[in-house]
Amino acid sequence: MARSIRTRSAPSLLRPLVAALLAALPATALPAQKPARLPLDNYTLPNGLQVILAEDHTAPVVAVDVTYHVGSRDESPGRTGFAHLFEHMMFQGSAHVKKGEHMAMLEAAGSAGYNGSTIEDRTNYYEPLPSNRLNLGLWLEADRMRSLAVTDENFSNQREAVKEERRLRVDNQPYTKILYEEGYKAIDSAGCYPYSHSIIGSMDDLNAATTADVQQFFKLYYAPNNATLVVTGDFQPAEAKKLIAQYFGDIPRAPTPPAVSCQPRYDAGARRERVQDTKATLPAVMKYYTIPAYDSPDYPALELLGTIVGRGASSRLNRSLAREQKVALTSQTFVNLFGPRRGPGAFVVFAIANKGIAIDTVEARLDDQIAKLAGGITDEELARAKSSWRASAIRERSQAVTLAAAIQRANLFLGDPNSLDADFDRYAAVTADDVKRVAAKYLHPENSYTFIDSAEAK
């Protein structure tokens, strides 16, 4: 193990005082279990590429994660779905990698679970590898950053694949029409277009996209100064740094991409809509409340609120709607469906009716639960939500690839990769009053958009 546990001891004069304070505190306030501090090496190449290394020799595996700071929020009207379509192009070959070879090389090297993903704020590419093939992962990422093969043939092929993906995920599934698409309407588009349209994009916009658009997008956003490279796992830092300098060092920087503008509002009025869903067999209700960005001081309390209301068997929705009243087959919350955002997001409350139960009944019971939050939450509920949060924050460090994603998240959304460690204190500090306050501030009707899924399939 390369990691060392560094303990900072309090100055000797203060020790008796600290001991007295600890003794006076109830047991629940004792320091909660958290993982050892994560030592990170964070530096930037002359061309603007940010590099973060986290060494750990527990298992003979490494992960390479390149996150480009571009997502659907950077799309303009008429160009929806473009960031995600572009992600597909990144697997189509580059100057020294023929079409189809990217995946073949990775798989023959023993990579498993490599992929790319696009959300509102970023597009990432990652490959877990056996540690003897770190060089291949870095080389493939560098080759496509410097010389992506944007051809008409590749482009029309991937546009079709994305259209199939849209059919698979959205058009042919129950409930996803709202979750993937309609739900974005909850964000006021007049003040904030970037977060009010879907990632997957419309079929019309996908059809209208041209190869020239793709080339332009690549030049503007896929430059080293708009990306962060994270390497985690079983590597020797000196050797990794040498390879990174050699492979990425001479890729030219590009002009800074245009800034994204967004003025969120949290009082757009109570809106509602019925969505026809010929794929659903049970009706559902989804309530969207607009919430602030990930770096807002309110965010940890909102995330814990999400757990208390609708995540886990002991959550309020599961206990009331599913178990006591038996009106819902499932009821839960999502705090931003696809990940954090640097702009307004959605606190989603979602319930599917039990067989034979009217959706109006389910919605009324859901509203009861939201209204009840005015009475606050119990200390026990808060302690439970914090334990769940802490355990998941610890578990995401267990694999090189999930750790790399966590580092990227802290870096992009909180502006500092070390905030991954600091978050343990940020969440520990949330009080029951904080949770009550954010519930009142954001979960009110004037900040809501209600969707009723009609369930028309037989």
Assess 451 for contact with other proteins (CB under 8 A): no
Choose which of 156, 210, 216, 431 interacts with other proteins (CB under 8 A).
Answer: 156
Smaller CB separation from other proteins, 99 or 441: 99
Assess 107 for contact with other proteins (CB under 8 A): yes
Q: Which helix (H) or strand (E) is 247 found in, with range? A: helix 237-248
**Residues 418/284, Cβ–Cβ less than 8 Å:** no
Assess 312 for contact with other proteins (CB under 8 A): yes
Residue list 3-42, contact with other proteins (CB under 8 A): 33-35
Smaller CB separation from other proteins, 175 or 195: 175
Assess 440 for contact with other proteins (CB under 8 A): no
Point out which span in 94-102, 289-297, 410-418, 419-427 binds other proteins (CB under 8 A): 94-102
The three-class DSSP label of residue 55 is: strand
Q: Rounded distance, CA 179 to CA 191, Å?
A: 22
Smaller CB separation from other proteins, 14 or 161: 161
Choose which of 2, 22, 161, 440 interacts with other proteins (CB under 8 A).
Answer: 161
Assess 262 for contact with other proteins (CB under 8 A): no
Choose which of 10, 17, 29, 59 interacts with other proteins (CB under 8 A).
Answer: 59
Total number of residues that touch other proteins (CB under 8 A): 88
Q: Which helix (H) or strand (E) is 110 found in, with range? A: none
Q: Rounded distance, CA 304 to CA 432, Å?
A: 10
Assess 352 for contact with other proteins (CB under 8 A): yes
The set of residues, in sequence order, having a beta carbon less than 8 Å from that of 453 and lying 6+ positions away, is: 174, 175, 177, 178, 275, 277, 280, 283, 284, 285, 286, 359
Residue list 203-242, contact with other proteins (CB under 8 A): 234
Q: Which helix (H) or strand (E) is 288 found in, with range? A: strand 284-291
> Which 8-state DSSP code applies to residue 308?
H
Q: Which residues of 290-307 are buried (b: 16+ CB within 10 A; e: fewer)?
A: bbbbbeeebbbbbbbbbb
Point out which span in 140-148, 211-219, 223-231, 441-449 binds other proteins (CB under 8 A): 140-148
Q: End-to-end alpha-carbon separation of the chain, Å? A: 57
Q: Rounded distance, CA 74 to CA 52, Å?
A: 25
CB of 347 to other proteins, least distance (A): 20
Smaller CB separation from other proteins, 186 or 284: 284
Q: Is beta strand 115-118 parallel, antiparallel or unpaired with respect to 123-130?
A: antiparallel
Assess 146 for contact with other proteins (CB under 8 A): yes
CB of 82 to other proteins, least distance (A): 18
Entry field: residues in the chain: 458
Assess 130 for contact with other proteins (CB under 8 A): yes
Choose which of 18, 44, 60, 276 interacts with other proteins (CB under 8 A).
Answer: 60
**Residues 205/81, Cβ–Cβ less than 8 Å:** yes
Choose which of 210, 246, 261, 263 interacts with other proteins (CB under 8 A).
Answer: 246
Choose which of 14, 44, 96, 415 interacts with other proteins (CB under 8 A).
Answer: 96
